[in-house]
Structures are given as C-alpha cells and as structure tokens.
Amino acid sequence: MIKPIGVVGAGLVGSGWAIVFARAGREVRVFDSEARTLETLPDRLRANLRDLAEFELIDNPDEVFARISVVDQLADAVGEVDYVQESVFERTDVKRTIYEQLDDVVGPDTVIGSSSSGIPASEFTDGLDHRANYLVVHPVNPPYLVPVVEIVPAPWTSDTAVEKATRLMDSVGQVPVQVRREVSGFVLNRLQGALLREAWALYEEGYASLEDIDKTVSAGLGRRWSFMGPFETIDMNAPGGIRDYAERLGGLYLDIARERADPQPWSKELIAKAEAERRAALPLEDLGKRSQWRDRRLMALSAHMADRLAADGK
C-alpha cells in the first residue's frame, strides 16, 4: 500500500511541496505549528491549483486539492508515512527544535528531507536517534514549477535514505541531483553566487547598468541554460567538444578569474545604488504583482518544456 507523505511547515515552500506530491497522485498530510498558516493554506492551494489548471499543467484541480489534508498534531502528519518533507523557517535553532520533536514521533524507517537552502543537515540533526534518515532535499521555489532538487546527505545519512529520497523525487516528476557531501550553499547557490559576484563587480565598476546585465542573461545566456547545462553548452561551442573549448578558452577565463581573486563584500553604497536602480524600474509595492507575473511565466515555460519533451519522444 502506498503511504501518504508528511509535509511539515505550510508556508510558501511547504504548500508548494504539497502540490508536487498531490499532483503526482500521493496523499499528503500537512502540519504547521502556526494555526494561522494552516488556516490560510486551503485558499493558497486553490489559487495555485487554479493557475496550474489554466496553463494545462494539471487536469483536475479539485482532485489534487482533495488529496491534501491538514492536521493539527505533528504526530498525525508524520506517524504513518515513509517520507516527510520539512520546510520550517530557515534558522538553525528553529530547524533543530523541530527535528528533536520529529525524532520522537517518526517511525524508524521514515526519511525526512529538509528544504534548507543553505544550512547543512549536520547542523540540526547531530545526536538524534534517527539521524541516519535525515538529509537535505532542497527545492527551488515554487517546486511545482522549477523541478530541480538538491539531495545533500549529512556525514551520517545512510545510502538507503539518499536512495529513497532520490527515487521519490524521480517518481513525483522532480529532477533530483546528487550533492555527494555537504558544502556551503550546495551546488545551486554556489553557481548562482559565482555569477552574481561577477555581475555585482561589473556593475560596481561601471561597465554596464543593472538592467543591461540582466538582459545579457535573460536575452542571452539564460536561453540555452533553460534546457541545457553549462557543460553541455560549451561542449557544443567548439568543433572538438568540451576539451577543445576548455583548451581554447581556459586561458581567457583564468585571466578573468585572477582579476577577481580578491573578493570584497557588496558595499552599502553598491547595494544602495542597485536598490535605487531596481526601485526605479519596479516600486517595492509592485514586487508581489511582479512575483505573480514570474510564476505565470514559469507556468507557461513549464507547459512549453512538457511539449518539447513530448516532441523529443521522452
């Protein structure tokens, strides 16, 4: 019998996870220690599911919604499940507190994946009875529109837990990637951070406006990267493939990296300048509306990607 999935933490990330699992046909039990967060959950879910149906990303929003139930006791969400996705507030002490509670009520084989985007599992699972079952399963927000998930074991996480989490993510349509051991920022935010650092530096030195640096990605680099990674991209950018590319351009990229060998903090002045340019383009009060636009763009892109996969015969 297929067991339900537990979701602990029903904010933006947790509610997104509930949709991922329910969309794939799984029953979901959601708990949050804040009563208000649980109260607003149904309306938030309905709004997201309506959007997904509009973009033909799900057939029947009511059916998906019906698979998600709210419970007001932690033990009810996690007691009879094989897998729990934890998405509580990202601070080590908050994570630690919930894992101590979870450790008392979960079964001995229940795997718990944390949505932590930066804190490694070793910082909040050390010393717990079932720590071999705990690991990071880091999504991008919202997880039902951006499929990648970083699987990051603590030093004591069992291979079985890694395999179970990976198989589950595969089975619900996410794209799991294996980060073999803990590293600050994992892979995704390290890659993002590297690009951001160069972007901030170019802006600080006056080479280009914030808007033009953004366009260089959105009308340039990001087009290929939306369906091919950076290595596959360069593999096709030299006649002899990746080796040929690395030999031709390694020297140029090394020279550029050496110009950046003394990383500096993003200064208050730099941040204020960037803030002014962004707020001129988009007032702070319109940020929420623009985020909705972003999510709708991501939905349209997801529909497009599904069509392309079908066309590729995958």
What residues from 270 to 289 belong to the interface with a copy of itself (CB under 8 A)? 271-272, 274-275, 278-279, 282, 284, 287
Q: Which of 36, 311, 313, 314 binds a copy of itself (CB under 8 A)?
A: 311
φ/ψ of 104, rounded to 5, equals -80, -25
CB of 75 to a copy of itself, least distance (A): 32
123 makes contact with a copy of itself (CB under 8 A): no
257 makes contact with a copy of itself (CB under 8 A): yes
Stretch that binds a copy of itself, among 35-43, 47-55, 76-84, 265-273 (CB under 8 A): 265-273
The interface with a copy of itself within residues 42-81 (CB under 8 A) comprises none
Distance (Å, rounded) from C-alpha 137 to C-alpha 150? Answer: 6
Angle at 214 between CA 143 and CA 225, to 5 degrees: 50
Q: Which of 127, 265, 313, 314 binds a copy of itself (CB under 8 A)?
A: 265
Tokens at residue 136, please?
């990071």
| Contact yes or no for 77/29 (Cβ under 8 A) | yes
290 makes contact with a copy of itself (CB under 8 A): yes
State the number of binding residues for a copy of itself (CB under 8 A).
107
CB of 165 to a copy of itself, least distance (A): 14
CB of 38 to a copy of itself, least distance (A): 21
Q: Which is nearest to 143 in space by CA: 110, 188, 92?
A: 188
- Toward a copy of itself, which CB reaches closer, 81 or 165? 165
Q: Which of 3, 50, 167, 304 binds a copy of itself (CB under 8 A)?
A: 304
| Contact yes or no for 109/133 (Cβ under 8 A) | yes
Looking only at the bridges linking them, the beta strands covering 148-153 and 175-178 are: parallel
Q: Cis before residue 142, ω within 30 degrees of 0?
A: yes
CB of 72 to a copy of itself, least distance (A): 27
- Toward a copy of itself, which CB reaches closer, 108 or 268? 268
Tokens at residue 170, please?
């595969």
Q: Which of 69, 204, 224, 306 binds a copy of itself (CB under 8 A)?
A: 224
The interface with a copy of itself within residues 167-206 (CB under 8 A) comprises 175, 177-181, 183-185, 187-199, 202, 206
The interface with a copy of itself within residues 137-166 (CB under 8 A) comprises 140-141, 145-148, 150
| Contact yes or no for 119/45 (Cβ under 8 A) | no
The one-letter amino acid at 109: D
| Contact yes or no for 111/164 (Cβ under 8 A) | yes
Q: What is the DSSP letter of 110?
A: -
Distance (Å, rounded) from C-alpha 136 to C-alpha 149? Answer: 9
Q: Which of 221, 269, 306, 314 binds a copy of itself (CB under 8 A)?
A: 221
- Toward a copy of itself, which CB reaches closer, 6 or 9? 9
108 makes contact with a copy of itself (CB under 8 A): no
218 makes contact with a copy of itself (CB under 8 A): yes
Distance (Å, rounded) from C-alpha 97 to C-alpha 224? Answer: 42
210 makes contact with a copy of itself (CB under 8 A): yes
**Nearby residues of 145 by Cβ (< 8 Å), 6 or more positions away:** 295, 298, 299, 301, 302
- Toward a copy of itself, which CB reaches closer, 105 or 298? 298
